[in-house]
């Protein structure tokens, strides 16, 4: 089909700001190609894993706004 894209990319990420340190953006991506059983975007488990990863990288408390 002409003009059809190659997929859709979803991105989610916290902007991490800590006084006296550099600002960080931690972001995973999910690419959806329309294949069977392929996730179309982020689910609750993906967001939980993202916060866990951010907490481990930052080595400190996290405030979600």
Q: Give the predicted TM-score (pTM) of the model.
A: 0.67
Name the pLDDT band for 7 (thresholds 50, 70, 90). confident
How far apart are the C-alpha atoms of 60 and 38, rounded to whole Å?
A: 34
- Of the CA atoms within 13 Å of residue 36, those in its CB half-sphere come to 0
Q: Who's near 57: CB < 8 A, 6+ residues apart?
A: 24, 26
**pLDDT tens, position by position, 12-33:** 888 888 788 888 888 888 888 8
How far apart are the C-alpha atoms of 55 and 59, rounded to whole Å?
A: 6
pLDDT above 80 (res 44): yes
């Amino acid at each position: 089909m002409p003009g059809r894209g190659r997929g859709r990319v979803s991105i989610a990420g916290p902007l991490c700001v800590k006084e006296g340190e550099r600002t960080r953006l931690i972001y995973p991506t999910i690419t959806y190609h329309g294949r069977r059983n392929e996730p179309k975007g982020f689910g609750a488990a993906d967001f939980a894993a993202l916060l866990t990863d951010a907490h481990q990288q930052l080595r400190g408390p996290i405030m979600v706004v």
